[in-house]
Amino acid sequence: MSDFSTWDIVRNLLLAARWTVVLSLVSFIGGGLLGVILLFMRIGKVSAARVFARYYVELFQGTPLLMQLFLAFFGLGLFGINVPAWLAAGLALIFWSAAFLMEIWRGCVDAIAKGQWEASSSLGMGYFQQMRYIILPQAIRIAVPPTVGFSVQVVKGTALTSIIGFVELSKAGTIVTNATFQPFTVYGFVALIYFALCWPLSKSAQVLERKLNVAHRNH
């Protein structure tokens, strides 16, 4: 008989869930900042920057996140660089998130009618003025729902970091299962905690999308 009570199981999982939340925030914010840089490279007028951004996205979207985690953790070790699991997990998820966020935002910029560019150009606006005052304010409004929706994928993506030894929610579930021999109970609670983290984000994305569509129709 296990000495662990149900509360002991839940408490240990909730403690580990803190690291899932922290890693998700770091990955999403870091990926967002890098994604903005890549976005301006992708839609800018410097051809070398556009090519780099395009291949960056193809690389990180075209390879599994699990492989990217392995390369971040074990790859640098080949050069004698000891990378902590939390650093490898954070870097891999930031680079992965940036690729998807950049493509989401590029699609939103491309969704702005060409007439907006032409009208602002006829007013004598330069490229950066067009982006700042005309294009980006409209693109940001369109981008909010899919961006919030993608945050759900970031939260779920953190589960893969357990494979390199980062102790977040899914890794804690394995550890607690090995201690309690109650896999159904433990992973049931793990699933509930993931649901509690992801459902509000998913629901928020749906609500924002509906509001955006209503606002668009009213205009």
Q: Where are the domains of the chain?
A: 6-218
- Cα distance between residue 186 and residue 213, in whole Å: 41
**The whole model's pTM is what?**
0.90
Tokens of 194: 């993931």
The CATH label, of 1.25.40.10, 1.10.3720.10, 1.10.645.10, 1.10.260.40, for the domain at 6-218 is: 1.10.3720.10
Tokens of 111: 């969704």
Looking at every residue in the chain, the average pLDDT score rounds to 91
Tokens of 109: 């910029």
Tokens of 192: 């509930």
pLDDT digits (tens, 9 = 90+) for 50-79: 999 999 999 999 999 999 999 999 987 787
pLDDT digits (tens, 9 = 90+) for 117-128: 888 888 888 878
How close are the terminal C-alpha atoms of the chain, in Å? Answer: 65
pLDDT of residue 213 exceeding 80:
no
- Cα distance between residue 151 and residue 83, in whole Å: 26
- Percentage of the chain beyond pLDDT 90 is 69
- Cα distance between residue 11 and residue 16, in whole Å: 9
Cβ count within 10 A of residue 130:
17
